[in-house]
Structure 1
Amino acid sequence: MAAPRITTNNLSLPLPTRLINISRLRSYLFRLPLFTRLILLAIVAFWVLELQSVWSVIQWGSLTPKEIGFGSMYRLNTFALIHTGFWHMLLDTVCLIPLLERFEAEWGTLNSLALFMGPLGQIPAGIYLLLDGVILRDNTPVLGASIWVFLLLASEAIKTYKTNPYIEISGYKIPTWISPLAILVVTSVLIPNASFLGHLSGCITGYVWGLGYIRFLAPPERVLRWIEGKLNLLGRLPHYVSVDQKTYGRYGVLPSSSTSGPGEHVSPIGLGWVGGASGQRLGP
């Protein structure tokens, strides 16, 4: 007598499991480059720290105009990594990771580290402090990674504009570079406590970066190559992305042919920003 065949029915799986291809998601996460992984880890770590009630991570690390001083300049870097809750953290992260991965694949790990811990992190923070603290004389704290989401969206919009300046809708030609601003307005209307000024600061920085006006702030490639060679970063660090993509490939000496193409990047669809009871958030 033949052994009975064992079959599986996808309908027996929980709804989230049926809607999400777990194996493809796991494969995607395992292919993330190094800096993107570190940012993801830092965001999750700060969220876990916020679960305790002894010390408020939000009060410690949020970007609050009147709290900025020589002893609290760290807030210019920490505010984008801290979120107000699980859903704020999750949705900001889902929007950020595909964009940040793409940026790191283009610019390299060392460049990404230097830029986002430097000018691409601190310039939008400075713009927000100018708009909220100096011009409006307000003191609204903000935090959340969606300020980087808008920065990267604006930068990508400039790239798109150079190759495809307009999209035509009902006979009207709409500039493609305006799409991040449209998302900014929709986000501000639909998501409670979303920071219009915080997202606008990210957009401004992204446009300026995309147009090339602050590209000089990127570290010299000669220096980065010297550091990579001196420390043998390609050999020592898994998923490290060399500054010289043409020579080493996306993931260093042994590039993978299964790397996702541009068409496989997830498109960000929702954004927002920080806050507590008196603050605003960058993310839903």
Structure 2
Amino acid sequence: MGQSIFIQALGRPATTVTCAMLGGIYGYITAKGIGYDQVGLSHEKTLGRWEIWRIVTAQLSHVELLHLLFNLTTLWSIGDFEASDGFAAKGGVAYYVQMSTILLLLSGVVTLALYHVLGVLLKREQYLSVTTVGYSAVIFGWMTILAVSGSASFSVFGFGNIPMYLTPFASLVLTSIIIPRASFIGHLSGILVGFLVATEVLDWLTLWWLASLLAWAAAFGVYHMVRTGRLDVPWLRMLHQDSGDIETGSPAVHIVGGVLERR
């Protein structure tokens, strides 16, 4: 049995690494006593406080063991695609990383957009404080991609197979039953982004463009953290030539006669 699992792991390296990463992050979160509020995705914290990093931390984090095991099992079942001949034709591991990254980032953005519509436009204010965690949106996105691409069936935890086109919706219902606290909006966001990927709407997001957008997003995030005093990078503070930092209250740094002066 162990040898069989080992051989499967070698045949799906990207899935194996992802499962190990999610398990490792769960172990760290559990050891540190980190909860939903510290890593989760919510409209109130992500947009209200501009903690954009939550789009990433929320989806890579699991606070409950049952949620983690459910996601790992489902992700491993989807990994059959990685061991197929069609996977190599699409680009292999690079394709897996590219699509998973797109699903992770865009599903987070879509989730926030839906929370904004529900909470702000439709006045359902409870959606502004809902906090979600877990890799489920990416998994639901992959299910949708495989369903649209014509994959025949999906193994349900090894007990049987269901038609692939029913998988995203069957899993949506099953997850809601097994894990009542699971985010319906988050899972739906994964399905929507999965359809965009599968219908080639996002084909322009190559690895180069994706890396470029991530670099700009990271630069903006660091700049914002410096401006709000959450990150101290002195050489970035020197770029401000105004009378002071309005957001942090820090005095501006000026160069006078080759000497740094604070005003």
TM-score bucket (shorter structure): 0.5 to 0.7
The 1:179/1:114 distance shift into structure 2, 3 A limit, reads: closer
Q: Aligned to 2:144, which of 127, 139, 154? A: 154
Equivalenced residue count is: 188
CA offset at residue 189 of structure 1?
Answer: 4.1
Q: Aligned to 1:132, which of 115, 119, 122? A: 115
**Cα distance in 2, alignment partners of residues 75 and 91 from structure 1:** 22
**Is residue 80 from structure 1 mapped to residue 59 from structure 2 by the alignment?**
yes
Q: Name the residue aligned to 2:10.
A: 30
The 1:183/1:56 distance shift into structure 2, 3 A limit, reads: closer
CA offset at residue 151 of structure 1?
Answer: 0.5
Q: Name the residue aligned to 1:47.
A: 26
TM-score, normalized by length of structure 1?
0.57
Secondary structure of 2:207 counterpart: coil
* Partner deviation per Cα, 1:23-82 (whole Å, 9 max, x = no partner): 21122123332x3333222211111112224x5164332112211158632221222211
Counterpart amino acid of residue 103 in structure 2: L
CA offset at residue 87 of structure 1?
Answer: 2.3
1:101-140 equivalence runs, <5 A: 102=81, 105=88, 106-117=90-101, 119-136=102-119, 137=125, 138=127, 139-140=129-130
Counterpart amino acid of residue 67 in structure 1: K
The 1:157/1:86 distance shift into structure 2, 3 A limit, reads: same
Secondary structure of 1:51 counterpart: helix
**Cα distance in 2, alignment partners of residues 47 and 67 from structure 1:** 21
Q: Aligned to 2:204, which of 190, 197, 216? A: 216
Q: Name the residue aligned to 2:38.
A: 60
Does the 8 A contact of 2:15 with 2:75 survive in 1?
Answer: no
**Cα distance in 2, alignment partners of residues 114 and 157 from structure 1:** 18
Does the 8 A contact of 2:67 with 2:179 survive in 1?
Answer: no
The 1:190/1:115 distance shift into structure 2, 3 A limit, reads: closer
**Cα distance in 2, alignment partners of residues 176 and 26 from structure 1:** 26
The 1:179/1:25 distance shift into structure 2, 3 A limit, reads: closer
TM-score, normalized by length of structure 2?
0.61
1:228-239 equivalence runs, <5 A: none
**Cα distance in 2, alignment partners of residues 22 and 31 from structure 1:** 14
Q: Name the residue aligned to 2:194.
A: 206
Counterpart amino acid of residue 136 in structure 2: S
The 1:182/1:88 distance shift into structure 2, 3 A limit, reads: closer
Q: Aligned to 2:135, which of 145, 148, 168? A: 145
% same residue: 21
The 1:217/1:39 distance shift into structure 2, 3 A limit, reads: same
**Cα distance in 2, alignment partners of residues 181 and 142 from structure 1:** 19
The 1:30/1:95 distance shift into structure 2, 3 A limit, reads: same
Counterpart amino acid of residue 148 in structure 1: V
Moved over 4 A (4+): none
**Cα distance in 1, alignment partners of residues 70 and 167 from structure 2:** 19
**Cα distance in 1, alignment partners of residues 77 and 12 from structure 2:** 9
Secondary structure of 1:92 counterpart: helix
CA offset at residue 153 of structure 1?
Answer: 0.8
Does the 8 A contact of 1:36 with 1:100 survive in 2?
Answer: yes
CA offset at residue 96 of structure 1?
Answer: 1.0
Structure holding more helix per residue: 2
Q: Relative contact order: is structure 1 or structure 2 higher (C-alpha 8 Å, sep ≥ 6)?
A: 1
Does the 8 A contact of 1:151 with 1:206 survive in 2?
Answer: yes
**Cα distance in 2, alignment partners of residues 32 and 26 from structure 1:** 10
**Cα distance in 2, alignment partners of residues 26 and 186 from structure 1:** 29
* Partner deviation per Cα, 1:203-262 (whole Å, 9 max, x = no partner): 1111111111112213369x9xxxxxxxxxxxxxxxxxxxxxxxxxxxxxxxxxxxxxxx
**Superposition RMSD in Å:** 3.0
